[in-house]
Amino acid sequence: MRTIKQLRKNMGISQTLLAEAVGVSLRTIQNYEQQGASIPSKNLSKIASYFDLSVTELYLQEENEPYTEKKTFIRNGCTFYPLDDTKHFVRVPLILIERQEKYIESLAESRLGNSPFKTAFVIDFLDEDPHKAFEVSGDSMNDGSIDAIPNKAIVLGIKIKKESFTKENNVMVGKPYVLVCTDRIICKKIIDFDTLKKTLRCQNLNTSPEYQDFDVAMEDVLEVFRIAKKQF
């Protein structure tokens, strides 16, 4: 499949590395990357999983060849379908509330953070950084305003570096983020960064007494995602 070669190149992965991940020889991967190659279903599933795709999505890419670069393309485990103008329909990994613990465990093991589920958004921007969707738990971010993020809402997050939070970088403060911590995943508005204590000050939109501001130590934060879109 020529798609395998294209995906591998897009992610900067060598044939040797892919061969080791699938458990086959280098020569076998070279054969798999040929047009019309016959790939055993077991190995095809391993290859699709390696790129965080389903077998169906892998074949979808192949069907769009040789126009993959102009039409559908895959980046960081997300499938992008160009629409009219500059918009894209994108399918991204979805971390449901019930799967948050397993996601954190997989993140600790592989640093990839795997999820068997996906959801879709229509976006009017393209970002090189990884996209992931999270189901929000609770109404701490629900104040009834246009900015509200109610219980069970799905937010599209764009991964950013933790180092982006500095006292000088005020543009990062005052916006909602998803914080993947060592023990939980939370959606909060970040209102301050303490450079000495190395903590993030988290704020809830809901002003009810039970929702108080609190600090999160940066050392307990595994991933940070800025919220780009939401859907209910």
Let me know if residue 11 belongs to a domain: yes
Q: Count the domains in the chain.
A: 1
Let me know if residue 3 belongs to a domain: yes
**pTM (2 decimals)?**
0.69
Q: Rounded distance, CA 194 to CA 171, Å?
A: 15
Percentage with pLDDT > 70 across the chain: 91
Let me know if residue 6 belongs to a domain: yes
Let me know if residue 94 belongs to a domain: no
Q: What is the pLDDT of residue 35?
A: 73
Let me know if residue 22 belongs to a domain: yes
Task: Convert the pLDDT of each residue in 116-149 to its tens digit.
Answer: 888 888 888 888 899 999 999 999 999 999 999 9
Averaged pLDDT for residues 41-69: 72
pLDDT at 61 over 80: no
Q: Are strands 88-95 and 131-135 parallel, antiparallel or unpaired?
A: parallel
The answer to whether the beta carbons of residues 107 and 181 sit under 8 Å apart is: no
Residues in a beta bridge with 120? 91
Query: Which of 160, 117, 108 lies closest to 135 in space, CA to CA?
Result: 117
Q: Rounded distance, CA 10 to CA 109, Å?
A: 24
Let me know if residue 109 belongs to a domain: no
Q: What is the pLDDT of residue 68?
A: 43
CATH classification at residue 33: 1.10.260.40
Q: What is the pLDDT of residue 116?
A: 80
Residue 33's domain comprises 1-55
Q: What is the pLDDT of residue 159?
A: 94
The answer to whether the beta carbons of residues 175 and 193 sit under 8 Å apart is: no
pLDDT at 67 over 50: no
Tell me the backbone φ, ψ of residue 210, rounded to 5 degrees.
Answer: -75, -10
What is the largest distance, in Å, between two alpha-carbon atoms of the chain? 64
Q: What is the pLDDT of residue 69?
A: 46
Q: Are strands 131-135 and 214-217 parallel, antiparallel or unpaired?
A: unpaired
CB neighbour list of residue 140: distance below 8 Å, 6 or more residues apart: 188, 204, 205, 206, 211
Let me know if residue 13 belongs to a domain: yes
Let me know if residue 216 belongs to a domain: no
